[in-house]
Structure formats: C-alpha cells, structure tokens
Structure 1
Amino acid sequence: MTITPPGAPPGMPPNHPEGLPPNVPPVPLYPHNRVRRHLSELFRLALPVVIARLGMLIMAVVDTIIVGNYDSASLAYLNIAHAPFTSLMVTGIGLLTGVMILTSHSVGRNNLREAGQTWRACMPYAVLIGIAFMVLTWKSDWLFMATGQPDEITEHASALAMILSIGMPGALIYITCSFFLEGLQRPLPGMVMMIGANFVNLVLDYGLVYGAFGLPEMGAEGAAWTSTVIRWVMAISLLAYILLMRSHSDYGIRDGFSGWWRHSRDARHMGYAAGASQGMETSAFAAMQLFAGRLGVVAAASYGITMTMLALMFMVALGLASATSVRVGIAYGRRDRPDMALAGWIGLLTTMTVMLLLSAPLYFFPGLVAHLFSQDATVIATTAGVLILMPIIFPTDGGQNAAISALRGAGDKWVPTILHLVSYICVMIPAGYYLTFVAGLGVAGLFWGIVIASLVAVSGLAIRFAIVSSRPIKAYQQ
C-alpha cells in the first residue's frame, strides 16, 4: 500500500518526492528507481519544451529554405541581418533565465504565490529589455560597416534588421511567459502555440517571399515581416493564457506589477550572469557569421545553412537543458543535494547522447541535406564539406548547454559565465579567425574553431558542476 504524503499538490503520484513542503520528508527511493524517475521526468518535461524550442528554429529553417531557393544573395542578406538580432535576443533570453529557475525553486518549496510573484515582477523587466534591444537592432548598419561587410550586404541586411527589430519585445514577452510555465512543469501551452505558429509561418512566408496566394512578392523582406508578426501573435496569446488559466488565483497572477523592480531583484541578478554568458556565446557566433560574410556571398550562405542545422539540433539540446535546469532547481529548492547532483549528471549525459545520435544523418548524407537549402552547386559543395564535423560539435555544444543549465539550477552564477568567456570569446574567435584567414581553411576553419571551443566549454563546465554538486546546500532564507 502506498500513501500520498500530506501537503503534496493535487494529482501528485504516491511516494513522489517532489512538490512537498520543507517539513514533509520524501519517501526514500532506491538508486535505480531514482535514476529511472529522473529520466522519466526529464523526458516528460523536455519533450514539449524541445518541440517548442524546435518550433522557434523550424521557423528560421523555413525562412532559410524558402529564401535560399528564391535567391542565394537574399539568403546571405537575411543571414547577416539575423546576426545582431539573434545575438541580442539570446542575450535577453539569458537575462530572463531567472524566471524559470526561481519559479522551479518555488515549486520545490511548494510556494505557488512566490512563483506567481516572480512572473509578475519579471514581465515589466522583459518589456524594458525588449524595447532597449529593439533600438539596438534597428541601428545595426554601423556593425555591418565596422566589420567590413560589402556595401551590397550592408544595405540590404540593415533594412532586414530594422524589420526584425520590431518583433524583439514580443519575442521576450513570449519567452518570459514560456519560462514561467516551464518552471511550473507546464510546458504544453507553449508547445501547442508554437506548432500552430509554424503552420501559419509556412503559408505566410511562402506567400510573401514568392508573391503567392495574392500576396505581394517581397523576397527576404517577406520572411522578416512574417517572423515579426508571428512573434507578437505568440506573445499576446501566451500572455492571455496565463492571465486566464484556471489556477491564476493560486499564483496571484492578476495582483498587479507594483514594486516589480524590487521583487525582480533575485531573478535579475541571476539573469545578469546568464545573459552575459549567452550574450558572449551568441556574439561570438555572430562574429563567426561576419567572418563568413567577409569571405563572400557563397561562404555566408554556406555558413548560414550549416548554422541553421546546428541551431535546429541545438534546440533539442536546449529543451533537454531547460528540463535539466528545472529538475536541478526543484531538488535545490528542497535542499536535496544528492538528488540535485543526480538530476544534473543525468541531464548532461542524456543530452550528449541524444545529440550524437542526431548528428548521424548530417555526417552520412551531407550533400543531400545541403541540397534542401540551395540549388547552387558551389553552396552545396561548401556546405557538405563542413557538415561532416557535426558529430563532434553536436554533443559537445549541447553538453555544455546542459551543464551550464544544471549549474544555473543549482544557483551558480558567475563561474559558468567566466568559463563561457574563456571558451567562446578567448578561444573560439581567435581560433576561428586564425584557421579561416591565416591557415586558409575558409568556412571549414570557422567550424574547427567551434569544435575547439565546445570541447573546452563542456569540459570546464562539467568539472564545475562536479564541484558545486558536492557541496552542502545552504538552508533557505525567507
């Protein structure tokens, strides 16, 4: 006979150690049962998160395929325009990471109103970041000129960056709402919304790029406008879901935003480190994109296609990493160090295994994959030559993201950021530049730089998690 411990949330399975208040001890589990439970919960939470994250990138893949088949030059313009936008958006995602982590900590303590307060405090913060980053993206022309982009690329990419910038606030509002629901272990609404958005994106993208269905033919601008409109529709829809969900009163969702700056302090401080970390990593990859632009249109298009595939598969790693962060965060909220360590290691090893399996098609069929994105024989040949490196890049890049997410869930802030600084700013950019321009490897040199940096990152972060997960966890202070 099993008994559900008192204080467990409604629907919690018997003998389940999560969601209990601090004064209710969990039912002991044997080691193999704990591993099985973590794997089960990891995939249960990660699957909808992976689908939602994949949805974000599938829209970019659709843009790349449609625009790439429309015109290779237009694809190069769109890829370059995405460099500053993506860099700032991912920085914003990092700044808002505290929403998910602190929400999961509150769930671990079974404090629902505290979780709701985290969301209410961080919504105005997300809007503020979104407006600031919109202005910076709008003014991207100086970046293209400063990095030596050809005049033709600078002109067209600047116009596309202005269109993309309008969707920045919407993207960060959506991320804030999505992080809150994921911290509550309720990722399904974000997944369903993302699936619907992808169907709309496919039709509208094709229509506006090629002038189909009676819509104007706009080329790459059509893809940019489609992305911007969809980001705002998703933001408004997920915001409405949270405001109207049945349990909104349990979380105090409609209690207003008074004192949001003070109440968002812990989430902001956690986000500063995560934002700096993700911002540096994404900026480093943007620098590599700009290096590719200096090599010409073919190199920029090839790099963009390969990075689209890397980013697409990285969304799988990001979903698993987000689930790892929540799993570690809940154990951290309960002050259960062994369970926290187990959750982190399972998340890291599972992510690296899954990413290795996903790299196989790109390794064995690189030409076929490249042909999906372009009809240009030169672009296809160049892209196929670098796709064979993905079995090294996928597991290490995905693994470093899982490791850093586990560290964030455990409350570690600045050391992971320093490790990212070393790996991507101090290692990847110099190595990529040297191998590309000095050693003369061309686009392949950029990806060998990524290989080196990813190996450094995953090794350093795994060692750091081993250190952090072996320490006693301090008692929670009200």
Structure 2
Amino acid sequence: MADDLDFDGYPAVFSPAHKQTLKDLMVLAWPVVLARIGIMTMGLTDAIVVGHYSSEELAYHSLAWAPSSVVLTTAVGLMMGVQVMTARMRGEGRYDEVGAVLRRGMIYSLKIGVVAMILLALIGPLLLPRLGFQDGLGEGAALPLMVFALSMPAYLISVAAQFFLEGLGKPKPGMWAMWIANIVNIGLNLLLVPDILGLGVHGAAASAWATFGARTALAIFLVIYILRQPEARAWGLFRKPKRDRAIEQEQIKVGLGAGASNFIEVGAFAAMTIVAGTISAQATAGWAIVINTSAIVFMLPMGLSSATAVLVGKAYGAGDHEGVKRAGWIGMGVVAALATLVGIIIWPTAHLITGAYSSDAAVLAIAAPALALATFFFVADAIQVVAAHANRSAGDVAMPTVMHFISYGLVMIPLGWFLAQTMGVNGLVWSVVVASLVSGVLLGVRFHIISKRAALTSHQA
C-alpha cells in the first residue's frame, strides 16, 4: 500500500489502485447514467409533446410537476438506504443478507408511496389555485397533479428494485428496464396528449396518465427480473430475515439523510417555479424548459454519484478507508470533467435545444438565454451531488443535509426571489449558480475532512 501513496498520504495519481477504481467507476457508472437519463427522458418527452400541443398546457404540466417532483425526489432519497446498505453488505461479504435489505426497502416503498399519493392527490389540488398564479395556471395544474400522485407507489417500488441491483453491481437490467418504460411513455404520450383515442382527456393530464403507465410497467419488469434471478434464494429474498435493528436503523438513517437533502434541494427548485408562475405563463414555460434541460444534464452527475456511492459504500463495508477516499475523489474529478464538457456543448446550442420544446417566440426569447446562462452551474452542481453521496456512503449522514439547507434553503430561495423581480428567469438561474457553488465547496471540504479522518484512523490501526 505504501507504494501507492504520495507524501501527504493520498493515492498517487497513476497508481494501480487508482486506475482500478477509475475502471470500476466507469464500468458501473455508464449504465447508471443511462438509467438516470432515462428517468428525465420521460419528463423531456412529456414536455416536448405537451409543449408542441399547447404552451398553456406545458405551463400546467410544469406547475403540476413541481410539487410532485418535491415529494417524489424526497421519497427516492428515502430509498437510498437500499443502495448503500446493499453495497456495504457486499463489502462485508454478507451476500446472504442482501435480500433482507430489499425486503425492507419494498415495505418502505409501499408505505411511503401510499402516503405520498394521498398527500399529493388531496392537498395539492386544494393549494395550487390559492397560490396566486397568473392566467388560471393553478386550476389547470390540479388534474395533472392528481394523476401524477397515483403513480407514486409503483415508481417507488421500481426505485427500490433499481437501487438493489445497483448496490449489487448489476446496473444494466435497471438501465434496460428504464428505456423500455420510455418507449411505453412515448407511445402513450403520442396517443393520449392529442386525445387520438377520444377518451376526453388531453394535454398535461393525458401526459400524466402516460407517465402512470410507464412507471407501472417499469415496476413490474424489475420485480419480475429480480425474483427470477438464480441467486434470489441465496440472497435471502424468499425467507423472513432475522431482526437486525442496527442494520435496519442504519438503512433508515441513510434514507432519511438523503431524503431530507432531496426535499431541500428540489423544494428550492419548486419554489423557483412558483416564483416564475407569479411573473407570467411565458416565464413559467420558459423556466420549465430551462429546468427540464438542466435536470436531464443533472442525470449525468446523478448516475456518477450513485456509482461513486456504491464504490465508497463497498470500501467502507470492507474497512478499506483508502478505497473510500480514492473512490470519492475520483468520482468528483470525473464528474467535473464531464460536466464541463456538457456545458461547452450546450452553451452555443441553447437556442436549438429550447426550440425543440416550443415554437412560441415569447417563450423561446426567455428560455434560450436563460439556458445558456444555466451552463455556469453545471460543474458545481455535479461536484456537490457526488460529494454528498460519497459522504453518506462513508457514514456521514447529517452534515450533507445541513449543507444543502444552507445552500438551497438559506441562499437560493431568497436570492432567487430577489433577483427575479428585476431580471426575470435569468435572476432565477443566477440564484442556482450561486447556491451550487456554495454547496459544491462545502461538501467537497466536508469529504476531505471525513476521508482524511478515516485514513488516519486506518493507518493508526
């Protein structure tokens, strides 16, 4: 091991261990990245089909998606414990207990999914018309929101299954399942949004029904795939596990930390959508295009963050503290390089990208310059999400949540509201730039402290 370290105790840049970790990251990351891109491609398909059908319906869709995305992303974070604990079990060599992790995850997903469905379906339509949106946007978004709510249980079941496979180092089935679900979503959108079948539902509500169908198909496919695996019995999927309260509590704790962070971050972005809704329907549609495109880009660091979390979690479970440090920093370095490349590509082509969403000149005049500006936060946003996942997988659950609250709750929301008063949608984008920089710096420094502390403990032992 000493040959792989420089004078500061950090891995030598081109050491064999470093190269192996990079290889492992990329092998695991590319299917996860494609799976995460598949998630957002559903939203992209919805936005494009609905946007070309009607800019007004696109605004409805965006406002319905805002509260839905807050609840959904929070719930997905709550399931993060499935991925982390499965990877740790692998690191500890306890393959016969990974089934217990999934069984707990499935129970959590059903409970959380039903609660999320009820909250969104009952409370959302009551609040939207009372938030002061312009042009009747709140009333128009109520029905799509109710339909989105119905798909929550099925989607969270699929998330638990996908996280389980990724934790096992088997990300490809989840990738293929996601893209099959996208094919289902595209077909249903093309049929339902213009109401070709004459069902009496069109636009944003019809697109929400397409999402329901795709999510249900995704859950069914993944559950059947896992149950049919030859290793299913060896994993302990078909037997009731013995109670292990320490593992159960750790799985819940990791999920609570990730869920709280997701709630803060996505809630802040939903607040920006609400601010846009107080400006005009065109501003809301323009912001929807910017945030949807940025969210698709964000799936690249989300995929790499999951791959990094699996490698860090596996090393943490094995007691390999040098591996923890190595996996975290390599993950952050790779994602910074890729996010920079994506920003360089999107910045000069922003007008072409926004044109794919809508043909409304007023909307495009807002969206195109705002999307070009949004490329400024890609790198910082990418680093912060990878760093947050690396910290949690290394046992640091609470601090990433605190840092997300500082960055997105205390900085982005008030700054976005203030800048939007004079700069419109561009002001919202600038608030994201500042918040992402704050978050990236805080979480990067935190991982430096956590990984160095772990390495020193390992060396002393």
TM-score in terms of structure 1 length: 0.90
Q: 2:163 — aligned with what?
A: 179
The Cα of 1:370 is off from its aligned counterpart by: 1.0
Q: 1:332 — aligned with what?
A: 316
CA distance in 1, matches of 2:15, 2:452: 20
Of the candidates 87, 90, 94, which is equivalent to residue 104 of structure 1? Answer: 87
CA distance in 2, matches of 1:273, 1:111: 24
Q: 1:115 — aligned with what?
A: 98
Q: Is the 8 A contact 2:148 2:208 kept in 1?
A: yes
The Cα of 1:361 is off from its aligned counterpart by: 2.7
Return the letter of the residue paired with 1:168.
M
Q: Does 1:450 align with 2:432?
A: yes
Q: 2:41 — aligned with what?
A: 58
Q: Is the 8 A contact 1:105 1:329 kept in 2?
A: yes
CA distance in 1, matches of 2:12, 2:92: 20
Q: Is the 8 A contact 1:208 1:216 kept in 2?
A: no
The Cα of 1:179 is off from its aligned counterpart by: 0.5
The Cα of 1:277 is off from its aligned counterpart by: 0.8
Residues 216-249 of structure 1, C-alpha deviations (whole Å, 9 max, x = no match):
6622211100001111121122111111211001
Q: Is the 8 A contact 1:65 1:372 kept in 2?
A: yes
How many matched pairs? 446
CA distance in 1, matches of 2:146, 2:134: 18
SS of the aligned residue for 2:263 comes to helix
What is the root-mean-square deviation of aligned Cα atoms in Å? 1.9
Q: 1:226 — aligned with what?
A: 210
CA distance in 1, matches of 2:261, 2:213: 29
Question: Which segment drifts farther, 254-263 or 150-159?
Answer: 254-263
Of the candidates 465, 468, 471, which is equivalent to residue 447 of structure 2? Answer: 465
Residues 396-417 of structure 1, C-alpha deviations (whole Å, 9 max, x = no match):
1111100001101101110110
Q: 1:346 — aligned with what?
A: 330
Q: 1:410 — aligned with what?
A: 394
Of the candidates 336, 340, 351, which is equivalent to residue 356 of structure 1? Answer: 340
Q: Does 1:380 align with 2:364?
A: yes
Q: Show structure 2 runs of 5+ residues with no match.
A: 1-10
Q: After the TM superposition, which residues 91-240 of structure 1 pair with which residues of structure 2 at under 5 Å, given as runs?
A: 91-138=74-121, 139-150=123-134, 152-212=136-196, 218-240=202-224
CA distance in 1, matches of 2:56, 2:15: 55
Residues 91-130 of structure 1, C-alpha deviations (whole Å, 9 max, x = no match):
0111111110011011111111222211112211111000
Q: Show structure 1 runs of 5+ residues with no match.
A: 1-27
The Cα of 1:262 is off from its aligned counterpart by: 8.3
Return the letter of the residue paired with 2:416.
G
The Cα of 1:32 is off from its aligned counterpart by: 2.0
Of the candidates 391, 404, 418, which is equivalent to residue 420 of structure 1? Answer: 404
Return the letter of the residue paired with 2:454.
P
SS of the aligned residue for 1:251 comes to coil
Q: 1:272 — aligned with what?
A: 256
The Cα of 1:144 is off from its aligned counterpart by: 2.0
CA distance in 2, matches of 1:29, 1:329: 22
Return the letter of the residue paired with 1:231.
R
Of the candidates 215, 235, 245, which is equivalent to residue 251 of structure 1? Answer: 235
CA distance in 1, matches of 2:324, 2:383: 17
The Cα of 1:30 is off from its aligned counterpart by: 9.6
CA distance in 2, matches of 1:109, 1:259: 18
Q: 1:300 — aligned with what?
A: 284
Return the letter of the residue paired with 1:102.
M
Q: Is the 8 A contact 1:121 1:257 kept in 2?
A: no
Question: Which segment drifts farther, 39-48 or 390-399?
Answer: 390-399
Q: 1:24 — aligned with what?
A: none
Q: Does 1:399 align with 2:403?
A: no
Q: Does 1:70 align with 2:59?
A: no
Q: 1:20 — aligned with what?
A: none
Of the candidates 63, 66, 69, which is equivalent to residue 86 of structure 1? Answer: 69
Q: Is the 8 A contact 1:116 1:252 kept in 2?
A: yes
Q: Is the 8 A contact 1:351 1:398 kept in 2?
A: yes
Residues 62-110 of structure 1, C-alpha deviations (whole Å, 9 max, x = no match):
1000100000000000000001111111001111111100110111111
SS of the aligned residue for 1:186 comes to coil
Return the letter of the residue paired with 2:68.
F
Q: Is the 8 A contact 2:374 2:429 kept in 1?
A: no
The Cα of 1:371 is off from its aligned counterpart by: 0.7
Q: 1:12 — aligned with what?
A: none
Q: 1:23 — aligned with what?
A: none
The Cα of 1:31 is off from its aligned counterpart by: 5.1
CA distance in 2, matches of 1:88, 1:472: 34
CA distance in 1, matches of 2:425, 2:155: 31
Residues 352-392 of structure 1, C-alpha deviations (whole Å, 9 max, x = no match):
11111112232111111111100001111111111112332
Return the letter of the residue paired with 2:406.
V
CA distance in 2, matches of 1:354, 1:342: 18
In structure 2, the CA distance between the partners of 1:215 and 1:148, relative to structure 1 (3 Å rule), is: closer
Question: Which segment drifts farther, 440-449 or 36-45?
Answer: 36-45
CA distance in 2, matches of 1:225, 1:166: 9
Q: When you count helix as a share of all residues, which structure comes out higher? A: 2
